[in-house]
Chains A and B, each alone.
Chain A
Amino acid sequence: MGDLYLESRLDFLRKTQNPDGGWGYFPGRKSWLEPTTYAMLALHATPGAEAPLDRAWKLVRSWQTAEGSFRPSGQVQGGTWITAHVVTLASVRGVYDGDVRRSVDWMLSVVGAEHNLLMRAASALHLLKTKLDVSHEGWPWREGNAAWIEPTAHTLVALKKVSGKYPGAELEHRIRDGEMLVLSRRCSDGGWNCGNPNVLNFDLPSYPETTGLALLGLQGRSAQELDGALDVAQRFREETKSSLAKAWLGIALRCHGRNPSAPSGESKVPGDIMLAALEALGHADGNYKLLRTGGRA
């Protein structure tokens, strides 16, 4: 089933590229940066993909803002966390020009809004309803908001991938501090949710998909620091019904050197472009390696 599973998804992606070069979340819909970057990673270096991906890259780059961030789609003004995906993609494509540098600088300038004096003081005086460690910076979905697991994990991948090209103390600090934020927000059941493990002294449960994403951002951390998280992820992958969660967990486990079982059961290609791309990326023969960041701990 392996090759057919992968090829059917790649074929679906080839057929659903929009005339502007991007991909929508669903076939025939307007292009968005998130499904476009996942589709580009999934199709990278596959036969016949060069020209379509060049068109896609041209579209993606047209969405860069003056400050270096990227808009999530042509319909939306203002840059977001999605900037991390473009930097990762630039690294995969070997592009390290001034525009990419501006994106990296923008990411380094953005911190979770809870990392401020007011919140730190409120936290010290136990005035917050959560038990967040607000000493870490992390990355928000949008500038001016709090840091969460998914945008932090994607930004960690991006910064780690370009750290050799743009070395610097600030970049190294943000990577290390971002990892600490992820580690500090682990749920009591061993996985991660969106990034809030406790509210009003009630522990909240983790989710499989965000556990996969957290582990993607934590590549390079020691087994001791991960403290059994890979086993939790493995169990989640076996138990979850969610195709999205299976895909992220597969990608994360493979990036950590594990070899999760091949997808089983129904192999119908989803009508969801982002999901199809992530399933292709997470396949044993897929491009998950492009999200590897190496041992940096």
Chain B
Amino acid sequence: MTRRQFIPLVGIAATASYASIRFQKPPKLSDGPSANSAVAIIRARSYSEDLVSRMLEGVRQTGLDVRGKRVLLKPNLVEFESSTVINTDATIVAAAVELFHRLGASDVRIGEGPGHRRDTLDLADDARYRSTIPKFESIFTDLNRDDVSPIRGFADEKEFYFPNTVLGADLIVSLAKMKTHHWAGATLSMKNLFGLVPGSIYGWPKNKLHYIGIPRSVAELSRHFRNTYAIVDGVVGMEGNGPIQGTPKPAGVLVMGHDLVAVDSTCCRIMGIDPEKVEYLRLAADLGHVHAGRIEQRGESIASVQTNFALIEEFSGLRLA
């Protein structure tokens, strides 16, 4: 066979392989950990409400002891566009800082490593973080440019580097935004952990995670960082072509809990998305609960706050029946 004949054959075989990767049957859903998980759905119709009190209610309902702990708040700070709601609202981040101080944390820091933009402080300025959060610059770490240390066992990589601020935290609080996502279906507390990966090593975007696979990377981050708690900003979320170009979607809720898989599964149900069809939730189903029957819903019921988020055609199959 000549080289000229061989190359098209390889191309066809490779393309078939690629297509089979895209359309292969997902693995069986794990039953998850033995104990059930508590997830609190707290009503918050606007950012001008007393958000600290709302969050305290969520903490009471899910249980959380942070006394003497170093807490890292990880908001979703991605890009800024004044016509939509890409980022975790500044009032949510400010309320969380106050919340964890009130709860007795020894240190409360904010850290983020945006995936596209390198001028993190400018982004924080646009998103009103600097003007809304007291002493913002003194408690903020740009995780893209922090000093780093290697860890082993992340996604079968020999070594993978994470910021020292992340590795030194006793508790990482994923302050995510409730949004649809054009690669993953939905971006919530688990996908938000992408911002823990340092751009100084993995670039902008953090393309290494794409090559590991977005669903697998999301699951691996949750597998590696178990010292987590989630507060999802669904006061106003994003629907349609998220996570950047979608449109605002008021859902009027905060969703909180220790089990990020259960929190994200609950968020999906609120958004009208079937969590059992979201690949990264299936991959992480051994870490936490996807099945509704294993999640103890506290606060509001899902039915009372459920509001379908518009989905792009690519993800129309995720719609909850």
Chain A: interface secondary structure? loop
The answer to whether A72 and B207 have CB atoms under 8 Å apart is no
Taken together as a complex, chains A and B put the C-alpha atoms of A202 and B246 apart, in Å, by 11
The answer to whether B122 and A120 have CB atoms under 8 Å apart is no
A137 in contact (CB, < 8 A): no
Q: Which residue of chain A lies nearest to B147 when distances are taken between CB atoms in the complex?
A: A30
> With A118-B14, A121-B11, A193-B116 given, is the CB distance from A242 to B245 under 8 Å?
no
What residues of A have a CB within 8 angstroms of the CB of B19 in the complex? 127
A125 in contact (CB, < 8 A): yes
Choose, from B59-67, B187-195, B197-205, B230-238, the stretch at the interface: B197-205
> With A148-B203, A204-B245 given, is the CB distance from A142 to B116 under 8 Å?
no
The answer to whether A200 and B207 have CB atoms under 8 Å apart is no
Choose, from A41-49, A54-62, A75-83, A217-225, the stretch at the interface: A75-83
What residues of A have a CB within 8 angstroms of the CB of B312 in the complex? 200
Total chain A interface residues with beta-carbon distance under 8 A: 49
Expressed in whole angstroms, the minimum distance between the Cβ of B102 and any Cβ of chain A is: 30
What residues of A have a CB within 8 angstroms of the CB of B142 in the complex? 25
Total chain B interface residues with beta-carbon distance under 8 A: 44
CB contact list, A121-177 vs B, under 8 A: 121-122, 124-125, 127, 129, 140-142, 144-146, 148, 150-151
Taken together as a complex, chains A and B put the C-alpha atoms of A30 and B200 apart, in Å, by 13
The answer to whether A25 and B145 have CB atoms under 8 Å apart is yes
A1 in contact (CB, < 8 A): no
Taken together as a complex, chains A and B put the C-alpha atoms of A249 and B163 apart, in Å, by 29
The answer to whether A207 and B116 have CB atoms under 8 Å apart is yes
The answer to whether B10 and A244 have CB atoms under 8 Å apart is no
Taken together as a complex, chains A and B put the C-alpha atoms of A145 and B202 apart, in Å, by 9
The answer to whether A75 and B148 have CB atoms under 8 Å apart is yes
Q: Which residue of chain B lies nearest to A141 when distances are taken between CB atoms in the complex?
A: B203
What residues of A have a CB within 8 angstroms of the CB of B182 in the complex? 129, 199-200, 202
Taken together as a complex, chains A and B put the C-alpha atoms of A274 and B120 apart, in Å, by 13
Q: Which residue of chain A lies nearest to B313 when distances are taken between CB atoms in the complex?
A: A200
Taken together as a complex, chains A and B put the C-alpha atoms of A9 and B210 apart, in Å, by 37
The answer to whether A34 and B116 have CB atoms under 8 Å apart is no
The answer to whether B207 and A148 have CB atoms under 8 Å apart is yes
Expressed in whole angstroms, the minimum distance between the Cβ of A246 and any Cβ of chain B is: 10
Q: Which residue of chain B lies nearest to A80 when distances are taken between CB atoms in the complex?
A: B201
Taken together as a complex, chains A and B put the C-alpha atoms of A93 and B22 apart, in Å, by 50
B316 in contact (CB, < 8 A): no
What residues of B have a CB within 8 angstroms of the CB of A194 in the complex? 116, 204-205
A sample of 4 more A-B contacts (CB under 8 A), given A129-B314, A241-B122, is A29-B147, A32-B145, A245-B119, A272-B121
